[in-house]
Amino acid sequence: MPRLHLSLALLLFPLFAFAADPGAAIGQARQAINDRRFDDAIKVLEAAMPDADRLAEPQHTQALAALHFYDALAYSGANKTSEARREIAAFRKFSPQTKSVDAAKYDKRFVTLFAEVVNGGENTFDALYPGWATFGAGKDEKKRRIEFADEMFTTGKTRGSESDRGRVFILLGAPSVVSVKPLTARDGGSNRFGGSASQAPVDSGAQSSVRSVEAADKAMTAQGTEGITKGVVERWMYSRDQLPKNLPDGDTTFKFITQEGYGDHLLQRDFMVNKILGEAAK
């Protein structure tokens, strides 16, 4: 399939193809974005998503693609990177054939973010836990996170929102990069209480974060290459802009270990992990 560029002509979808409310919302949001009123654009677009979700095909897919695209553009303009990535991922569910955006029509930051999501899609939270990008559109964000955590992270008698993954997810949102690997001795598998979350150097962008996680995996497996039976380590990396503002600069990775006889996705805690979660809970 040929690579498609997204033009400013409403993602190749005419406004008149939509029902009145989503179409009007897109028009209003485009004007707000042009005026740099990004928060206004976000409110208008997200309020229109429930109406778009009720449309019949092909209007349903077209409207939601357009709403998520402009929502991503507005979040990017407002310097809310993680939300912009989330909305780009949601847009691509409705328009997977779109591989890039026109650099001549959109600002460099948004073009870069779009490319990062497309090229690093296999390392995204939504790839590991499908459905987050479009789950509960229009709901209060905290309620949305709690409900999704309960749906995805519940194990045995432990409610998902009360699990380690659930608590981190509810407080910080979806990580920018995820990685799931077999558990090795270096990860703390042979010393169950020795594992810890790590703080990585400042490294902007999802692709850079993917490289950071992959480099950490290689370094760890070089010193402890033998996988531990029935053990896995899941890493969630958060970029600096996703963390509480009054903390040191740097991307941070949370590490969850699953091992027979130890537990299921238990967060490896250290001073920085506890400090981040404490600040986020305030």
The pLDDT-based confidence of 13 (bands split at 50, 70, 90) is: very low
DSSP run (H or E) holding 235: strand 227-238
Do 110 and 135 fall within a single domain? Answer: no
DSSP secondary structure letters along 17-85: GS-HHHHHHHHHHHHHHHTT-HHHHHHHHHHHHHHHHTSPTTHHHHHHHHHHHHHHHHHHHTT-HHHHH
From the number of C-beta atoms within 10 Å of its C-beta (0-12, 13-18, 19+), residue 193 rates as exposed
Task: Kindly list the distances between the CA atom of residue 18 and the CA atoms of 2, 46, 65, 158, in Å, as whole numbers in the listed order.
Answer: 26, 15, 11, 43
Q: Which of 89, 119, 149 is the last residue of a domain?
A: 119
Mean of pLDDT over the chain: 79
Do 204 and 270 fall within a single domain? Answer: yes
Q: Which of 102, 119, 136 is the last residue of a domain?
A: 119
Do 180 and 140 fall within a single domain? Answer: yes
Do 51 and 144 fall within a single domain? Answer: no
Q: Who has greater pLDDT, 202 or 142?
A: 142
| 125 neighbors 175 (Cβ within 8 angstroms) | yes
| 45 neighbors 37 (Cβ within 8 angstroms) | no
Is residue 189 scored above 60 in pLDDT?
no
Distance CA 172, CA 193 (A): 24
| 188 neighbors 194 (Cβ within 8 angstroms) | yes
Do 267 and 132 fall within a single domain? Answer: yes
Q: Which of 84, 119, 154 is the last residue of a domain?
A: 119
> pLDDT (tens digit, 9 = 90+) per residue, 195-233?
444 443 334 444 454 455 455 455 444 444 455 456 889
Do 102 and 207 fall within a single domain? Answer: no
Is residue 97 scored above 90 in pLDDT?
no
Q: Which residue range(s) make up the domain with 143?
A: 125-280
pTM of the model: 0.55
Residue-level pLDDT at 215: 52
Residue-level pLDDT at 230: 64
Residue-level pLDDT at 188: 61
Work out how many domains the chain is built from and give that number: 2
Do 145 and 111 fall within a single domain? Answer: no
Task: State mean pLDDT over 177-181.
Answer: 86
Residue-level pLDDT at 179: 85
Residue-level pLDDT at 204: 40
Do 266 and 223 fall within a single domain? Answer: yes
Residue-level pLDDT at 223: 42
The pLDDT-based confidence of 183 (bands split at 50, 70, 90) is: confident
Q: Where are the alpha helices (DSSP H) in the chain?
A: 20-34, 38-53, 59-77, 81-94, 108-119, 125-128, 141-153, 164-172, 206-223, 271-280
Do 81 and 190 fall within a single domain? Answer: no
The token pair that represents 130 in the structure block:
């499908």
The pLDDT-based confidence of 246 (bands split at 50, 70, 90) is: confident
Q: Which range among 60-64, 135-139, 239-243, 257-261 shows the weakest confidence by mean pLDDT? A: 135-139
Is residue 133 scored above 70 in pLDDT?
yes
Do 115 and 129 fall within a single domain? Answer: no
Q: Who has greater pLDDT, 269 or 186?
A: 269
Is residue 149 scored above 50 in pLDDT?
yes
Do 191 and 237 fall within a single domain? Answer: yes
Residue-level pLDDT at 248: 67
Do 273 and 181 fall within a single domain? Answer: yes
